A and B are shown apart, each in its own frame.
Chain A
Amino acid sequence: MHRRASFFLGEIRCILCLPSREWIRRARLVLVRVLLGVSILPFASCKGASAEGLAMNEASLNLPRSVGAWTQSGDPEFVGPKEIFKYMDGAGELYLGYRFKRLEVRRYASADQGEILVELYWMESSDDAYGLLSGDWGGEAVELRAPEHGSSSPAATEGPRALYGAGLLRVWSDNLYARLIAENETDASKKAVLALGQAIVMGRAAPPRPVFIRELPASVSSQFLLRPDRVTFLRSHLVLNSVYFLSSENLLDLGPDCEVATTIYVQGTTATSSNAKPTRLLLARYANEAAAANALHHFREIYLPEKMREPRTSLTGDSGVVAIEDGWMGFARSGRGLALVFESPDEASARLLLNEFVRILERLEASHE
């Protein structure tokens, strides 16, 4: 009881820091739980990392004991940042690159249909969890929550929040990224996995996509079309390199306090036309203006060394466009934001895209988003 009481106090402290609309929504939720006496720590026993001190949006899951032919087996396992390498050899860097807080593992066993593994990755923010989903937009988009009356499916306007394929369901739900995988994919296991997915998202907030992602225009001057299936949000250079290899070194000084959107734009009439020449965009925002300026300096020195040595080079300012081996690349800094364009087909296109993305940076800075 003491633990539950202090948990609620923690929740209240947490929601006081939120914007007003969200504050009201979460406060209501807490109040309802208090009044109903709903247990919010249904699986308190744990191994590894502690379940103590959970934030409000990390402990509201009440997954069923059984789903179809599968029944939860054993206690949940908790894995903290220090133990993640032991849990998943080599993969720890990915999650740490997205401000990973804790992993919760649950297993559902069946008599003869294999296991369903449920991995719940609790992240620092919704943007981090979105980033993990954005690493791969492949698979079948699934809607895990019923659309509100009269509204269209959120996936139609914002892109999917859950993707299913070959037995694996990946879910972005507020600050939670979930992976559910059936050992043997069957119609029954798919139903069970989707039912568990629905239980995971039930009652949880569905914040919008990261602001950088929302701001990406679907087209630029009707010439360049966004490839939504190539949009990735990230913070670490390791993740950037897994999407678009830039360098063996962290040229852009990326880290946990950075926000980065990267995608491709294609010239043509349809964004998915495979013949279209893609241009790579990278938008980054740093903790402050000095960090952005340092990152740009670092990038130019390593990526464009010979161009920087040229007499009367025009690349020493906050913006520039230059032809390199794979097309035209451009950079522009605005305040604490940095826009980079790679593999643009010509100089005019590089400038056009840069100007558009600088406007985005300026707009975001002005709106304090």
Chain B
Amino acid sequence: MSDHKHVITRRDFVRGTAGATLGAVAMGGTLEALAAPAATSQVVLVREQWVLDEKHEVNAGILKIMLRNVLTKVTGKPDPASAWRALVKTDDVIGLVATDHLNKTHTELIELVRESLTEAGVPKSNIRNAQGGPEKAKACTALIALPALKAHWLTGIGTVLKNYITFSGSPSSYHDANNANLGEIWNMPHVKGKTRLVLVDALRPLCDKGPQLDPRYLWDYKGLIAGTDPVAVESVCLKIIMQKRQALRGEPWPLSPPPMCVEMADKKYGLGTSRMEQIQLDRIGWTADALV
């Protein structure tokens, strides 16, 4: 088999060796080398019961408070302005990278982030929508990832890591089995090191994978999930999605295909940690049905 290209099978997942195996093969390394522990990453989960009404409309006032809580908790700063200044420079060209397809990021959240950045001293002209091709990322010196929480039929989960797929210039080459390589986009020269904050819109997530929107699988979670480690944030998101699926069916309902991209982003691309035991989850606000 050693002369064959490595193929991931279900058996690799059952054995728990899928990511490690693929990573080891890709890097030519050993499994032992992959076992080195990573530093603990912080993820902040803020939820408020009344941020959505019964028609799922956003209460912008409550969302603003949630954003404030996220920013101050992630940075340890006392207010949003100083929090943003800890994350970005006021002369940065800042790209907001929101989900623009299938369970889109709420426009209220995007606007609040924009407004909040402006209040922190970033000129309006330096804040732009960066969702799109590689040139969008190239034009920015800092990126704020603003994906919405959702499952995806080709990648298992389609939230944080997949949010930058268009920066690759060839999105379809990351579909199917190649979803495992989504992490490499974050290491491309025009993307690497630019992401200052990952802020997930978990107000009304989508727990089944589509490929098209099925409203039966939307639910009011009323949360924001944030951190500076994209893999840790994605791992928390993944746990929420998986727990919701199990709760809906009353039996295990695994994501298929398995979200290989999460573990690979950790073990192959070194973007952060996918291990829940290495994630410090800080919670603020509403706790019912948190699923994590």
Residues of A within 8 A of B260 (CB): 248
The answer to whether A324 touches B11 (Cβ under 8 A) is: yes
In the docked arrangement, what's the CA distance between A257 and B183, Å?
35
The answer to whether A165 touches B216 (Cβ under 8 A) is: yes
Interface flags for B210-221 (1: CB within 8 Å of A; 0: not) read: 111111101000
Q: How many A-B residue pairs have CB under 8 A?
A: 97
Residues of A within 8 A of B14 (CB): 324-326
> How big is the B interface, by class?
35 or more
In the docked arrangement, what's the CA distance between A345 and B258, Å?
23
The answer to whether A90 touches B211 (Cβ under 8 A) is: yes
Chain A to chain B: the 6 pairs with minimum beta-carbon distance, closest first? A248-B177, A91-B211, A166-B215, A325-B14, A274-B251, A248-B8
Sample (17) of A-B pairs whose CB atoms are under 8 Å apart: A89-B101, A89-B171, A93-B154, A166-B215, A242-B153, A245-B10, A245-B256, A247-B7, A248-B8, A248-B177, A251-B7, A302-B7, A302-B9, A303-B10, A303-B11, A324-B14, A342-B10
The answer to whether A305 touches B1 (Cβ under 8 A) is: yes
Out of B1, B7, B102, B251, name the residue touching A249 (CB < 8 Å).
B7
The answer to whether B176 touches A248 (Cβ under 8 A) is: yes
> How big is the A interface, by class?
35 or more
Residues of A within 8 A of B208 (CB): 136
The answer to whether B256 touches A325 (Cβ under 8 A) is: no
In the docked arrangement, what's the CA distance between A245 and B216, Å?
23
The answer to whether B11 touches A325 (Cβ under 8 A) is: yes
- Whether A88 contacts B256 in the complex (CB less than 8 A), given A246-B9, A249-B7, comes out as no
Minimum distance in angstroms from A176 CB to a CB of chain B: 16
Interface flags for A56-95 (1: CB within 8 Å of B; 0: not) read: 0000000000000000000000000000010011110110
The answer to whether B256 touches A241 (Cβ under 8 A) is: yes
B contact face: mostly helix, strand, loop, or mixed: loop
The answer to whether B11 touches A93 (Cβ under 8 A) is: no
Per the 8 Å Cβ criterion, residues 85-121 of B in contact with A are: 101-102
Residues of B within 8 A of A139 (CB): 216
Interface flags for A209-249 (1: CB within 8 Å of B; 0: not) read: 00000000000000000000000000000100111111111
In the docked arrangement, what's the CA distance between A41 and B287, Å?
56
In the docked arrangement, what's the CA distance between A134 and B266, Å?
35
The answer to whether B256 touches A90 (Cβ under 8 A) is: no
Interface flags for B233-260 (1: CB within 8 Å of A; 0: not) read: 0000000000000000011000011101
The answer to whether B212 touches A242 (Cβ under 8 A) is: no
Residues of B within 8 A of A90 (CB): 101-102, 152-154, 175, 210-211
Interface flags for B150-193 (1: CB within 8 Å of A; 0: not) read: 00111000000000000000011001110010000000000000
Residue of A nearest to B251 (CB): A274
Q: Does B47 contact A (CB under 8 A)?
A: no
Q: Does A296 contact B (CB under 8 A)?
A: no
In the docked arrangement, what's the CA distance between A155 and B260, Å?
38
In the docked arrangement, what's the CA distance between A90 and B176, Å?
10
